[in-house]
Structure 1
Amino acid sequence: MENEPLIDDALKTELSALYAAEERHYHGLAHIEAMLALARDYQGELDDPEAVEAAIWFHDAIYDSRAKDNEAQSAALAEQKLAGRTDAARLKRISAMILATATHQLPPFDDAAATRDASLFLDMDLSILGADPVAFDAYERAVRREYDWVEEPIWRAGRGAVLKSFLARPHIFLTQEFRQRFEPKARLNMARSLETLS
Structure 2
Amino acid sequence: MTPGLEAAYAEPHRRYHTRRHIEHCLEMLDAVPDLTDRERRLLTWAIWWHDAVYDPRASDNEALSAELACRELPALGAAPDETEEVARLIRLTAGHSVDAGDRLGAILVSIDLAVLGAAPADYDAYARAVREEYAHLPDAAWRAGRSAVLQRFLEAPVIYPDPRIRAAREAAARANLARELSSLR
- Same fold (TM > 0.5): yes
Which whole-Å CA distance do the structure 2 matches of 1:45 and 1:148 have between them?
41
Counterpart secondary structure, 1:45: coil
CA–CA distance in structure 2, aligned partners of residues 68 and 14 of structure 1: 21
Q: Equivalent residue for 1:90?
A: 82
> What are the within-5 Å matches in structure 2 for residues 26-175 of structure 1?
26-42=16-32, 44-47=33-36, 48-83=39-74, 85-106=77-98, 115-175=102-162
The amino acid that maps onto 2:12 is E
The yes-or-no answer on 1:176 pairing with 2:173 is: no
- What do you get for the CA RMSD once the two structures are aligned? 1.3
Structure-1 residue corresponding to 2:11: 21
Unmatched tracts of structure 1, length 5 or more: 1-8
Shift in CA distance, 107/63, structure 1 to aligned 2, threshold 3 Å: farther
What amino acid is aligned across from residue 14 of structure 1 in structure 2? G
- Cα offset for 1:107? 5.9
Which of structure 1's runs of 4+ aligned residues deviate more than 4 A?
none
Structure 1 residue 185: Cα displacement: 0.2
> 2: distance between equivalents of 1:59 and 1:46?
20
